[in-house]
Amino acid sequence: MRNKIINSDTLWVSWKNDAEQFLKEKKEYGQVIEKYESKWKKNTKMNVKEMRDFCDGCTAYPITKAYGGHYFSPLQAIQIDALLSTLPIAANERSVSLAALIHSASECAASPGHTAQPFQPTKTAKKYSFGAWKQNVFDHAANALKKIGSRHAKKIGRSVVCDAADMAKDLKRGDLVFIDPPYSGVHYSRFYHVLETIARGSCSNVEGVGRYPPPSERPQSDYSLKTKSKEALKTLLKTLSENHVKVILTFPKEKTSNGLSGSVVSSLAKKYFTVEQKTVNGRFSTLGKKHVPAYEVILTMKPFAKK
């Protein structure tokens, strides 16, 4: 974990120069620029099809091939590929730069809130695609790099990617855990697969309107399955209570698509902890529509006194 500020100005100049040099040496970049100057500026359905066909042939550029003409314009996509290909080598600089690139891609993606599905070139939606496609990837990356580079940990810590139940086994008395489990019956990998591909730097062939990778490359979670969500959460809470860990857990009050609700989660928690419950009012995104009011429960959980 980084505990020092990164000089983002110097880093960006070097990274941007490398990416621009990368692009200058690629014939596909020249073809994209030529197409924009001659034709692709017009937001027509036929142009979008031509963009997608072109990008599909860019086999050496994973982001362009998978998402060009969909989530990103051909120009944006090949710029993302260039920035990916020229990430700094040093560990801290590389991780900060990759984070900035993921952030900028999220801001530029032509999709409603998440990257589950891109806008389509229909009469009513194409304006949103072309609006997003006008965003400058380099500008967004530079701004994100400045914001992220200026932040750092005051104390060295660590981050771990693993199953929550496995992590719970290694915790001990006095530890404090924050849990925000999935509440959707749809696996979250569907909503963030574009950003995950950028983080990984590659993906297999994609398909469908959402440009999804094969199921084998999309992480699955028992917490999202109606048939397994309750048991998965029960196992996690039981392990945490046995290790005498303090827990703060948040969950929507009403019944959700994975079969759980605030009351169900609270009932489970009370089997293993002393529970204090608070309900708060928030607003949830409906993926492109207006935000709607939603209630969420916050459970503060203390393990029972050890006998």
- Please indicate, yes or no, if residue 156 is contained in any of the structural domains: no
Domain boundary among 99, 126, 149: 149
94-132 pLDDT tens trace: 999 999 999 999 999 999 877 889 999 998 898 999 999
Query: Do 52 and 68 contact (CB within 8 A), yes or no?
Result: yes
- Please indicate, yes or no, if residue 204 is contained in any of the structural domains: no
Residues 140 and 228 in one domain: no
What is the count of structural domains for the chain?
Answer: 2
Residues 137 and 172 in one domain: no
| Edge-to-edge strand list for the sheet holding 246-252 | 176-179, 246-252, 292-303, 273-284
pLDDT grade, residue 9 (50/70/90)? very high
Residues 254 and 297 in one domain: yes
Residues 172 and 280 in one domain: yes
**Can you tell me the mean pLDDT for 158-181?**
93
pLDDT at residue 2 in the model: 85
Cross-strand partners of 283: 293
Residue 297 sits in a domain of what CATH number? 3.40.50.150
259-294 pLDDT tens trace: 999 999 999 999 999 999 999 987 665 544 456 678
pLDDT at residue 283 in the model: 67
Residues 18 and 101 in one domain: yes
Residues 93 and 169 in one domain: no
Query: Do 11 and 144 contact (CB within 8 A), yes or no?
Result: no
Residues 95 and 175 in one domain: no
Average pLDDT value for the chain: 92
pLDDT at residue 4 in the model: 87
pLDDT grade, residue 179 (50/70/90)? very high
Sorted by sequence, the CB contacts under 8 Å of residue 218 that are 6+ apart come out as 187, 189, 190, 193, 212
Residues 87 and 170 in one domain: no
- Please indicate, yes or no, if residue 2 is contained in any of the structural domains: no
Catalogue the E-assigned strands of 10-92: none
Structural domain boundaries, residue 235: 164-182+221-303
